[in-house]
Structure 1
Amino acid sequence: MELKKCKECGATIPDKAKACPKCGCQVDTPKRFGKLWIALGVLALVFIIGGSATYFKTGKSGAGEDSIHKDTTALQTDLVVKLTPEFCKAVRKYNSLSDFKDGFAVVEKGEKWGVIDTEGKEVVPCVYDVVASFYEELAAVCKNDKWGFVNTKGKLAIPCTYDYAFDFSEGLATVMKNGKYGFINKKGEVAIPLKFEECGFFSEGLAYARDKKGDYFINTNGEIKIRLPKDLSLFDGSSYDSSYPTFHNGTCSIVVGDDYNYVINTKGEKVTPPKPQPSAPEPASEYEVFRNDKGLVGVKNIKTNKIVVPAKYSSIGKSARDNNVIELHNGVVVATLDYKEIKDKDEDSTDDEDNIYTRTYDYSIYGYIDMEGNETFTSEDYKLAAEKNSKYEQDKKQWQE
């Protein structure tokens, strides 16, 4: 079973799901030097990169459309990442980096995954095939196609014995074995027997579950509390918006037949959809992303219009779906230096498939930057990216000739 990782909230889902069951966002797993899907044409390439890139590449639209927001809550001193020489040296050994979350970041080394803290210390060793973000101080991990959980000390708290595992929520986590889903507690004990065909996350004491007889909301004892309509759909309007229903402030929105405004309370009663509450105004952003004439991005201070981060990166930060907002995490944000290569013809490809698009591979060098102009990238990183892109342009010209 393959993993898809949510680029918005960090949750993990099985490969059959088309979106994050926790937040509804499409998901993917970050790679630093990883090969992207090969495009069959220009249009296909655009869609594939757009769907599989973990970090959003900002468009050629100039300053003012992309914003960087500082953390909205005051961070503990020990959770602020300082790009010291020691930290920079520590993270250079990793070929993939992700944004920090609550003081931890998932990293990749030699196609194996682990976790570092804000000092760059490897708290979870890079020995796992997959590592998810920490939720309730436990992170789902996969090794040899089996799933378990590690704690923030890096100890395997729950052995890798399951075919799949979701993140913890309200003290319980969905696990799957032999095609059946149930829940375990933080001690690794089975809290709700693995008897369901599908399970979601707990929210306000209830979790979605399905078996051959129907769809339900169950409580933490595994008792059926709400029987959902037979024509329930887990799709919110398109095949890319599949998500498990969850409760928020006592209500849950579901899709029943053609009714996309079907709302129930915690008793399962259909209720009037709550009126949208006016959201608090976004705090004025201190920074904005700009792009130079070479397509590289940097950051400007909005008030002073001064450049705080030069435009020398291929991308800065990760973007939420359908917007261009980029946020700092624990005081830093992931940036990339991208380059392309034209590879030799694949032995399995036909002559019709042998073209510049099928031979072009995209790569990214990952690093961290802050708003003080500090970075973990080295001069060798910039040199490598420049040399690779220069060679790509030469190879591309020869190909076209």
Structure 2
Amino acid sequence: MKYIVTTVFFTMAVVLVNAQTKYENVGMIGEYKADWALVTLNNKLGFINEQGKEIVKPTYDKIGQFGDYKAEWALVILDKKLGFIDEQGKEVVKPIYDFIGQFGEFKADWTSVQISKKLGFINDKGEEVVKPIYDFIGQFGEFKADWTSVQIGKKLGLINDKGEEVVKPIYDFIGQFGEFKADWTLVELDKKRGFINVKGEEVVKPSYDIIGQFGEIKADWTLVERNKKLGFINDKGEEVVKPYYDIIGQFGEYKADWISVWLGSKLGFINDNGVEVLKPSYDIIGQFGEYKADWCVVELGSKLGFINDKGVEVVKPIYDKIGQFSEYKAEWLLTELGNKLGFINNKGEEVVKPTYNKIGQFGEFQAEWALVELDNKLGFINEQGQEIIIPTYDKIKQFGEYKADWALVHLDNKLGFINNLGKEVVTPTYDTIEQFGEIEADYAAVTLKGIKGFIDLNGKFIAKK
């Protein structure tokens, strides 16, 4: 046994002595690798094995220790450029890099490399998985578990853990996934905002100045602003309402599926499909149901009208004042225009043109009649809006005070009668008229310029009996 060991050491010594005749310097076996010795030739480093065989040709300016970066690799430097050799002496990474980081700093089987201040990655097989073209590379997981940010100049993009550029570096800013929508992140380009998805696709082109949160107005919509004009995009990236409006309200303020929009000082509506159901035309819009369940009052230039729940203008805004339905008649509403009164019905039709100074209640004189006054003269309209008695009289008494179907009328201090058909049965010519039957049955005493007489039940004058 002693003989064998002595022989081995003698053989190694011979090998090293022979090697020294070829190389400028021969290191100790085992300093780098158990069966290798570092050698120097023309100031270049390489390796020989314990049999004196040249495993790594003296090529490099420096050689690091195996395991400093990776268990079976050693760093090599040539003309200030870095690379790697493996334990078989093979150059697994050519020395072309200015800097090589540690494996695991970014990804377990990758390490960062740098050429001319540009960053990339190589893997643990020595393959360049990401070319060194980036000025900055972030950490995996900052945006998405298998993605990391990259930067060229001042522009940002994203690469995945396969080394693929999933988002080209074109953006000035990239936000976090989930801030707006789980599978989207905000991007900014030239101060304009948009979105990319988890596949790296640009789902919303950066064209907006401001983008709100989904759900603030509608669950699947978000408010967008461009050049101080507002609109909406949906969660598919579609522009459902072009940025056109100055102010946008909330759904449900007027109608569950409508939202108010302002353009300048004019108000209108869009629906939850993004359709403009009412062009911004009005100064003020009231609430549905204040007058009629499916109507809403509108104001334009201090004039009032109505729209319905389909966005149709059922009553043009021409009135100064509008009353309530049922104040006079269930399906009618009082209107006022220039101090004149009239009626519209629940179909939006003007059944009585604003003509009168005053209008009384239906039924005060006759069930289906209402007293009207025009320039201090009285008459009647019926429930069809027809003027059955032209405003002619100064006063009109109640039907039945003299005769069941007649009413006393005054005109220029003269008395007469109208009947319940709207006919003037006794022309106002008398100074006085007494009650029928006070003097004689079926007759009423009258005086005309001091002359006494009677009228009968048909209104015919009869000289004093």
TM-score in terms of structure 1 length: 0.26
Q: Which has the larger radius of gyration?
A: 2
- Structure with greater proportional helix content: 1
- Structure with greater proportional strand content: 2
